[in-house]
Structure 1
Amino acid sequence: MGRVTLQTVADRVGVSRMTVSNAFSRPDQLSAELRERVLAAAAELGYVGPDPAARALARGSAGAVGVLFTDSQGAFRDPIAAEFFAAVAETLAPTGLALSLLPATTTNGPRVAARDVPMDAALVYACAGDTEALDWLERRRLPLVFVDQAPTVAGASSVLLDDRPGARAAAQHLLDLGHRRIAILTTAHGQPRGVAPDAATAGVGYVSRERVEGWMSVLGPAGADVVAVNLDDNLEEDALAAARTALTLPDRPTAVLCFSDLVAWAVVRVADELGLRVPGDLSVIGYDDSPLARTVTPPLTTVRQDLDAKGRAAAHAIERAIDAQGSSAAEPEHVVVPTHLVVRGSTGPAPTAAGSSS
C-alpha cells in the first residue's frame, strides 16, 4: 500500500475528506457512530490523523506552550523545577496545551528552538533576561509569562514567590535561638564558587537575590557574623561542595541558611561526615518544603512555597495571556505566591546558648 492520506480513509468509509478531518479535529460535528467508523478505518489503514503543522495552521493554534529554561536538563534534575512543571502540565492538560522545553542558549545550527518551534505562548522560567532565545520570543510577539523573575518584556505577566518574608522569618528564627555566627549558601551561577566577598551582595539571579536580601535584612541589623558561600547551581554536587566549604571554615558557623532543601540536605550530610550533630552543633534551614525536607533526618526546618499553587497560577496566566492576545485593553497580571516558615527538627538553640562548645 502506498502513502495513506486523509483521502484514503475517506474512500474506505465512503465519506468526504472534511468528514474524516472532523473526526480528528472537530468530533462534535459527527455522530458518535460515524466518528467511530472513521477512526476504526484510520486505525486499520495506519493513518494517525491530519498533519500537525497543517492542523495548527488551520486552527491558528500550535497547541503548545514553550518553556524557556536556562538549563533544559536542569528541568529534570532540579526536583523543585520538576514539581512546578508537573503542576503546570496537569493544569493545562484539559485545554489541550502541551509544554515544549526550549534551551535558553542558541547554537549556530540551522534550527533555533525559540525561533522555529511552533507555540502559542511561552513561560520564561528563572532565565537570564538578555538571552538570544528570549529576544526571539519577544520578536515573535508571543504572550509571555515570567516565573521566578521580574518581567523584562513590556506587557508580559509574571508569577513570583514572596521570597523575602519567608527568608526574613527563617533568619529571625535563628536569631531567636541565639545564633549569631551564620552561613548562607546560595546559587551564584557564573560567579566564583566558595566564600563570597560580601554576604550582603551574594547570589546571582532574581530568586537568589530576593532570598539573600530577605536574610540580610534581619541578620545585618542584628550584627550577626555572616559568611556567604556561592554554589554554581541547585544541584547535588554543587551543594555538597558548598557545604564542605562552609563547615570547614576556621570559625565554623552554628547555623546555615540554605537556598533550597537540596542544599540543606547536603549540609546535614556533610555535618554527619564531620561528626557534627544537627541541631545540637549545627542548625540548618532549607527553602521550598519539598518532599526531601520531610525525609531528611532530622526533618528540615524550611520555608514553604506552594509549588502546586505556583504551577496552577502560571498555567492560568498563560491561558489568559493567549485569550487576550491582540486585545489593546488587555493588562498583564502579576501573581505573588506567599511563603511561610515551617519549623521542624533541624533547628535548635545555638551551642553556646545550650551551654556546650561548638
Structure 2
Amino acid sequence: MNPSAESHSGAGASTAAEAPNASTAPELGEHRHVGLGAIAGAAGVSKATASRALRHPDTVSPGSLAKVRRALAILGVDSGSHDAPSRQMVALVKPAAPAGNVDPYARLFDLLTSRVFAQGIAAVHVEAAAYRADALAESLLGSAGSEPHVQGAIVLGGGAAGELAAKLAERHLPQIRVSNARHEDGISRIVLDATDGIATAVQHLVHLGHRRIGLAVLRDSAAAVRIAGFRKSMAQVLHIPATRDQAPVVEAAGGTMAGVAAAEELLHLQCSAVIACAPSLSFGILEAAARARLDVPRDLSLLTVGDMPDADVIAPPLSQVSYDWEAIAVSALNEVRTMMANPGEAAAIDYSMTPDLVLRASAVPPQRR
C-alpha cells in the first residue's frame, strides 16, 4: 500500500496547527508498510474485519468500513480507493469545551468524522482556542497566495470557533457553520433553533400540569432569543403576561457549579419544573436537587433542550428536546462537498433544524413538596 501525504488528522488546537506540516506524515513517494494488526488496532476492529475491509469492502458493515478507512488515513496509508477524491482534506472545527463543562457538539463531531473518512476524505480536527484564530487559520490555509492545506471546513459552535470561521471566510474557503445563533456574515449556516424546542418543552410541562416553570440558560449570544422564546411560549400556553416573576429565568455561566447556582435560585422561586438549555446546567440542577434532598422528578421535573450525553442512563433518565444529529451531519457534509466541487459558485444556505421531544422519566405531573 502506498502512503497518502494528504491524510493528516489532528486533535486539539496545537495539533491542528501543526498538521499540515507534521514531521510524522509520510512524504509523497515514500514507501511505508503498516501491518494488519496496526490497522485493526487503530480502527478498533478484529484483524479479520480489517482484512475484509481492505480486500472485499462490500462484505463488511458501513460502520466497520468507515473505521478502517479512518485508521488508514490516520496512519498515513492510502486505502487504494480509486473513487475517493484526491488531495482533499476537510477541517472539522469546534470550540474547546470550558473546564468542567460538557461538549454539546461531541456526538455531531464524531458523526462528521466517521462520514468524512467513509467518503475517502481526510479530516483535520481543530479545537478553536481564544486569541488563536490567526495562527489556526494560517495553519489550515497556508500563506496568502498559496494553495490551502484544506479544501473545506465544517465549523461547530460560536465563540472562538466563530472567530476562526470568519478568518477562513476572508480567504473564501468553502465552509458551513452549525451553531445556535444566526448572524448576517454571509457564511452558509445550519442553525440549531432551540426556540421551537423550548416551546415544545413548555407545552409538554404545561400538559403535565405545571404552572411554575423556570428556564436555565447559558449566558451567551443565543440567550436573549431563547429567553424571549420561553416567555412568549409561557404567555401563549398559560395565557399570562409572562413577566420575570411569572416566567422566571436564570442566566448562568458554563459548568456544573453554575447549574447548581441556577437551580438553587429557581427552587427558591418555587418552580416545580425547570427547562435547562445546556447539559452542564442539567447536571447542576440534578446536583442542586440532591443537595436540597429533593427527588427528580417527584419534587422537581427537569427537561433538557439540546444534546445530553447518556441521557437514557442517567438516574432518572432525562427527557430532552434533541436534534437529529445524523441528519445534520449528512446535510453539513453534503453542502460543504458541493461548495468544494464548485468553489465560488454555490449560493450561501441558511436554514434551521428543529429538535424533537424525547420522553423519558425526568418530567411528571407536579406534586406538593
Regarding TM over 0.5, the answer is yes
Q: What count of residue pairs does the alignment treat as equivalent? A: 284
**Aligned equivalents of 2:205, 2:32: Cα separation in 1:** 65
1:64 counterpart letter in structure 2: V
What does the per-residue CA deviation read over 1:157-180, in whole Å, with 9 as the maximum and x for residues that have no partner?
212224222211110122223322
Q: CA deviation at 1:299?
A: 1.6
Which residue number corresponds to residue 281 of structure 2? 263
Name the SS for the 1:341 alignment partner: strand
Which residue number corresponds to residue 350 of structure 1? 366
Q: CA deviation at 1:103?
A: 2.2
Q: CA deviation at 1:98?
A: 0.4
**Aligned equivalents of 2:130, 2:263: Cα separation in 1:** 29
**Aligned equivalents of 1:246, 1:215: Cα separation in 2:** 15
**Which aligned pairs between 1:81-92 and structure 2 lie closer than 5 A?**
81-92=105-116
Q: Is 1:299 aligned to 2:317, yes or no?
A: yes
**Aligned equivalents of 2:29, 2:349: Cα separation in 1:** 42
Q: Is 1:217 aligned to 2:241, yes or no?
A: no
Q: Is 1:238 aligned to 2:263, yes or no?
A: no
Which residue number corresponds to residue 308 of structure 2? 290
Structure 2 residue corresponding to 1:105, chosen from 126, 130, 133: 130
Cα gap change, 1:76 to 1:82, in 2 (>3 Å): farther
Cα gap change, 1:84 to 1:75, in 2 (>3 Å): farther
What does the per-residue CA deviation read over 1:93-136, in whole Å, with 9 as the maximum and x for residues that have no partner?
1232303315253259xx71123323222233221499653442
2:112 counterpart letter in structure 1: V
Q: Is 1:153 aligned to 2:185, yes or no?
A: yes
**Aligned equivalents of 1:231, 1:294: Cα separation in 2:** 25
Which residue number corresponds to residue 33 of structure 1? none
**Which aligned pairs between 1:3-42 and structure 2 lie closer than 5 A?**
23-24=2-3, 42=32
Structure 1 residue corresponding to 2:354, chosen from 338, 346, 349: 338
RMSD, matched Cα? 3.5
Deviation larger for 171-180 or 96-105: 96-105
Structure 2 residue corresponding to 1:227, chosen from 227, 245, 248: 248
What does the per-residue CA deviation read over 1:242-262, in whole Å, with 9 as the maximum and x for residues that have no partner?
223333x2x321111110344
Q: CA deviation at 1:325?
A: 0.6
Name the SS for the 2:283 alignment partner: helix
Q: CA deviation at 1:145?
A: 0.7
Q: Is 1:96 aligned to 2:121, yes or no?
A: yes
1:82 counterpart letter in structure 2: A
Cα gap change, 1:98 to 1:130, in 2 (>3 Å): closer
Cα gap change, 1:298 to 1:100, in 2 (>3 Å): closer
**Aligned equivalents of 1:335, 1:265: Cα separation in 2:** 30
Cα gap change, 1:337 to 1:134, in 2 (>3 Å): closer
1:150 counterpart letter in structure 2: R
**Which aligned pairs between 1:175-214 and structure 2 lie closer than 5 A?**
175-188=206-219, 204-206=220-222, 208-214=223-229
Cα gap change, 1:311 to 1:80, in 2 (>3 Å): farther
Name the SS for the 1:270 alignment partner: helix
Q: CA deviation at 1:42?
A: 4.5
**Which aligned pairs between 1:309-328 and structure 2 lie closer than 5 A?**
309-327=327-345
Q: CA deviation at 1:24?
A: 4.1
Q: CA deviation at 1:72?
A: 2.1
**Aligned equivalents of 1:186, 1:139: Cα separation in 2:** 32
Cα gap change, 1:60 to 1:306, in 2 (>3 Å): closer
Cα gap change, 1:153 to 1:316, in 2 (>3 Å): same
Cα gap change, 1:152 to 1:40, in 2 (>3 Å): closer
Gaps of 5+ in 2: 6-27, 35-74, 77-84, 141-148
Q: CA deviation at 1:239?
A: 2.1
Structure 1 residue corresponding to 2:326, chosen from 298, 308, 312: 308
**Aligned equivalents of 1:66, 1:211: Cα separation in 2:** 27
Q: CA deviation at 1:140?
A: 1.0
Name the SS for the 1:183 alignment partner: strand
Gaps of 5+ in 1: 1-21, 27-37, 51-58, 189-203
